[in-house]
Chain A
Amino acid sequence: MKRIELLSPAGDLERLKVTLLYGADAVYIGGQSYSLRANANNFTIDEIREGCSFAHKLGKRVHLTLNIVFHNEDMEEVEKFIKDVVDAGIDAFIVSDPFIISHIKTNYPNVEVHLSTQNSTSNYEAIKFFESEGIDRVVLARELGKKEISEIIDKVNCDIEVFIHGAMCTCFSGRCALSNYVTNRDANRGGCAQVCRFSFDTDESKEFTMALKDMNMAEYIGDLIDIGVTSLKVEGRMRSLYYLATVIGTYREIIDRYYEGTLTPLVMKVLQERLDRVANRETSTHYFMKEADWTDQYYTGRSEVSNQDYLGQVIEYKDGLVKFYERNYFEVGDTVELFTPSGEHISFVVSELYDSDMNSVDVARHPDDIYYLKLDSNISIPEYSMIKIVERKN
């Protein structure tokens, strides 16, 4: 039985490496052009090559988003870009434009093409059309429920990918130009200004808002595996390393435990709490078990909360000292947790802390500076392990 794929976003090469190390089976990235996150760092061709090489050595895959809605001028260079990306070793393109699908399948039949959620594909008959065009996978609309997804899987032959975690659009993907009208930034060419998170005046006593809670499908991963979904997609190419490491690492554990039969309610509760801790909005399963309703959105404008749990990113562990880049203030006496890409979690009280010159200090207060902390551990602590706060002493 083929295991379900965990697909992670990666806004740059470092995120690509970290998310693959934390358990993603594949990553999706954007190139310097034609991706719907035009303002993310995105990848040069050389970085795509390096990313593909890194992933392939781990037996993993890299997908590239090529999912803008093309204007005439965008068509001029795209064929060369596709060739360069194929030469760099990409495994799959995520595309919304059927002309581009046809071009790739005709010229590069060994490269997979996935239909972007930008098409908001919501029924089996539309998928049959794309199957006849050679599509390998369809990323379904986020407006579908379990029954509809299951019915689609029963009636089509291609792979089915669904979103499981992250921010949501209020409108059907691809069917929203609010950003164009309000900010002149083209939503469907990567410039979306997230106008659905703005608040608007009305004649009523309260502003109109439509910002959605984030998606969190952790409780239903087993359902998605059972109905035959191929790939579980996490949203967030512009999210932080810490967020991605936590989310991907947690879903890795959920998936593995589901297959092993060790995903007990108690374990699930711990894992869900871990996800909740890095969330900056409330979450919902939206359409999965019911028609989305008034409980799935906010009525008070932007509702993000900042999170300062993330304390540091490990550079190396040697001679009982963890060398790390500091991210948020912490001090001796705080209880912290160190977690590794392979899923180990070590909680301890910080007893000794040193600056980059090995002077003993009581606090780490300068983000991006290098610090050391003492830790006796038999567990391997590789690069890209993360440190987070559990409890502050004060």
Chain B
Amino acid sequence: MKLLIEVSSKDNLYLEICDGIILALDNYSVESIVSFSLDEIKEIKNNTSKEIFIKINKNLMNEDIEKVKDILIELDKIGVDGVFFYDLAILELKRELGLSIDLVWNQTHMVNNYKTCDYYYSKGVKYALLGKEITLEEIIEIINKSKITSMVEVVSKPSVAFSKRKLITNYYKDLGKEKSNELIIHEKITDSNYLLTEDSNGTSFYLDIVTNGTGIIKELYENNCQYIIMREFGVNSFEELIKDTKNYISNNCIDNDYVSKYKKLGDSTNFFFKKTIYKVKK
């Protein structure tokens, strides 16, 4: 099982200690705290043997298509290990351009069943980043039943929603104040905070609590999950977490001290053990 990370700054990419990184691409990524230019990506790729994945997960508009075409051709040449995609235009462009670049199905809240994973696999998609609103039981079932290579995000402040609208700008305009690019909003019923960030693509929503999936890594490992992902944003002592997690995996996830130690990340396990409902009893 490999450990991919998504960093929250350009200061430290942790390439020495992880198996690979996910780099958001300037202007074409959303739900990421930091993004990289194509030149920066080339330089990183040229200086490491670790796996490099690129995130192009915005909802693409017509005007984006020609530019994305050029980007995909360039990424194919560079030899990155995969492109996380949301918009199906990416899959179509790969086919039209005859590119060999691997793709990661990354439709944030939609990657929820093994049959659709297999559908994408049949279309040449190698990986799927599973949804974060499904249970561990569902995740294991997908890993076991689908031919696609599953990726599971185990530590992060999860992405909750994305709007094309400039919601922070609008809020501050109504207030008559100068805007910030970030805003914490507090939901009263659940007494929980959400972080909003805004850029030229729109507004991203994150749950402002770290999901702590360190306790499920062993079960993922035992079920032959190929990749887990940790995102740096909001996580303290991230470097130590990566090192410890790599050691934990190397030792077949039998070190109980690891799980005990990382209880410090908090007790939020998101939907790993909580099933959502959709029919409300009347």
Question: Which residues in A have some Cβ–Cβ distance to B below 8 Å?
Answer: 38-39, 68-75, 96-99, 102, 119-126, 128-130, 132, 141, 143-144, 148, 151-152, 170-172, 174-178, 180-191, 195, 198, 200-206, 208, 210, 292-294, 296-297, 299
Option from A39, A123, A186 in Cβ contact (under 8 Å) with B87: A123
Residue of A nearest to B87 (CB): A126
Question: Which residues in B have some Cβ–Cβ distance to A below 8 Å?
Answer: 59-62, 64-65, 86-89, 91-93, 95-96, 107-110, 112-116, 118-120, 131-134, 138, 141-142, 145, 160-167, 169-171, 173-175, 177, 183-190, 192, 194, 205, 207, 271, 274, 276-280, 282
Docked-complex contact A126 and B89, CB < 8 angstroms: yes
Docked-complex contact B165 and A175, CB < 8 angstroms: no
Option from A75, A175, A297 in Cβ contact (under 8 Å) with B109: A175
Docked-complex contact A148 and B142, CB < 8 angstroms: no
Docked-complex contact A122 and B276, CB < 8 angstroms: no
Docked-complex contact A198 and B187, CB < 8 angstroms: yes
Nearest CB of chain A from residue B184's CB, rounded to whole Å: 7
Nearest CB of chain B from residue A298's CB, rounded to whole Å: 10
Residue of B nearest to A98 (CB): B119
CB pairs A–B below 8 angstroms (7 shown): A39-B282, A69-B112, A125-B88, A175-B162, A181-B160, A182-B190, A191-B276
Q: Which residues of B contact A184 (CB under 8 A)?
A: 274, 276-277
Nearest CB of chain B from residue A109's CB, rounded to whole Å: 18
Docked-complex contact B186 and A200, CB < 8 angstroms: yes
Nearest CB of chain A from residue B132's CB, rounded to whole Å: 8
Docked-complex contact B112 and A185, CB < 8 angstroms: no
Docked-complex contact B60 and A123, CB < 8 angstroms: yes
Q: Which residues of B contact A73 (CB under 8 A)?
A: 138
Docked-complex contact A185 and B163, CB < 8 angstroms: no
Q: Which residues of A contact B107 (CB under 8 A)?
A: 174
Docked-complex contact B110 and A174, CB < 8 angstroms: yes
Docked-complex contact B138 and A125, CB < 8 angstroms: no
- A95 CA to B133 CA in the complex, in Å? 20
Docked-complex contact A70 and B277, CB < 8 angstroms: no
Query: 10 closest Cβ contacts across the A-B interface?
Result: A191-B278, A125-B89, A200-B185, A129-B92, A186-B276, A294-B170, A99-B119, A201-B186, A189-B278, A176-B161
Docked-complex contact B138 and A71, CB < 8 angstroms: yes
Given known A-B contacts A175-B109, A175-B162, A180-B276, A130 and B175 have beta carbons under 8 A apart = no
Given known A-B contacts A143-B59, A172-B163, A185 and B280 have beta carbons under 8 A apart = yes
Docked-complex contact B64 and A69, CB < 8 angstroms: no
- A183 CA to B114 CA in the complex, in Å? 26
Nearest CB of chain B from residue A124's CB, rounded to whole Å: 6
Q: Which residues of B contact A141 (CB under 8 A)?
A: 59
- A151 CA to B165 CA in the complex, in Å? 22
